[in-house]
Structure 1
Amino acid sequence: MNFRAMRPCHPPRRPTGFTLVEMLTTLALLGMLAAVAYPSYATHLHRAHRADARAALMDAAFFMQRHYAAHHRYDTGDASAPLVSLPAPLNQSPRQGPAHYAISVTQADAGSYTLSATPVTTGPMAHDPCGSLTLNQHHTRGITGTTVNVAQCWR
């Protein structure tokens, strides 16, 4: 018996790489993961941008309280331009980089004021269901959106 003739000359080849079925299965799993993860990520970003706007409104409210302490009124006292101008760092949220919200004094008189954080039309919050966030001298929170409630937007 000749053992040399029975033994193959080359060792058997092991397949390398991925099969088409393995590749399609992997792509399908990645697609399902992305379909679940992206909306969650977008919701998280919107909540983070709203949190920045709420913090900016609170900073603007502190500015208005300091203005009241110095002038004994929330407005300027000038009938032609009654609204107080916020300092430059308080005009937008976030303070640095592209603005997602414009912060402004929308109403002011001797004893009251209303601050507003309005989404920038070209920003990521332009179609936020909460709309504009508002805050007054009593720290009463409000929104202009109608599809959600105030507590949901201010949490």
Structure 2
Amino acid sequence: MNEDLRTMSEHHRRSTGARRQSGFTLIELIIAVAIVGILAAIAYPSYINSITKTKRRAAEVCLSSYATFMERFYTTNLRYDEDLAGNAMNSAALQALGLDCASDQNTGKDYSYAFESVAAAAYTLKAVPIDAQADRDTRCGTLTLDHTGTRGATGSAGVAECW
């Protein structure tokens, strides 16, 4: 009988107040949120930097596309600044080309493209960052590409880091 009382007492203790609660305590939850916050604070600037570099690379490709067009233009007209009919090749004409790389769906919301200079035997194209890209990419700034393939950047980082 003693054995039965002990078993009943054990069963009673398990079924009443001695249950273990499952879940998180407030302290555990606060620590988890703090850890996520710290990771986000570290990851977000890296993410923004990566996006900025990606947009810059796309602008470089677009400048190269414009330079390829200019070389074809020169082959046809034997000069960079006007065609055989005397129509000027200027920034407005360059924009009128409407290359897909400069569309709003691609780099057009982040960079504007124009000539820095154009002459019969030389040109320099530029990609100027606009809006958020201008604020984020101050180290490289405006990118340039000329008729000889020389690359430039107006920011403090220099050509080697920006191109």
Higher helix share: 2
Q: Which runs of 5+ in 1 are unaligned?
A: none
Write the deviation string for residues 46-96 of structure 1: whole angstroms up to 9, x where unpaired.
110010000000000000001001100001169995526221125726653
Alignment partner of 1:83 is 2:90: yes
Report what 1:60 is aligned to: 66
- C-alpha change, 1:47 and 1:93, in structure 2 (3 Å) is farther
In 2, the alpha carbon distance for the partners of 1:48 and 1:97 equals 10
Give TM-score, length-normalised by structure 1: 0.85
% same residue: 36
Q: Letter of the aligned partner of 1:135 in structure 2?
A: L
Structure 1 segments of 4+ aligned residues over 3 angstroms from their partners: 77-82, 93-98
Give TM-score, length-normalised by structure 2: 0.81
In 2, the alpha carbon distance for the partners of 1:82 and 1:152 equals 31
SS of corresponding position for 1:76: coil
SS of corresponding position for 1:25: helix
Q: Is the 8 A contact 2:58 2:107 kept in 1?
A: no
- C-alpha change, 1:98 and 1:114, in structure 2 (3 Å) is closer
Which of the two has higher C-alpha Rg?
2
Q: Is the 8 A contact 1:103 1:117 kept in 2?
A: yes
Q: For this pair of structures, how many residues does the alignment match?
A: 151
Q: Which runs of 5+ in 2 are unaligned?
A: none
* RMSD of aligned alpha carbons: 2.5
SS of corresponding position for 1:126: helix
Q: How does 1:31-46 map to 2 (within 5 A)?
A: 31-46=37-52
Q: Letter of the aligned partner of 2:112 in structure 1?
A: A
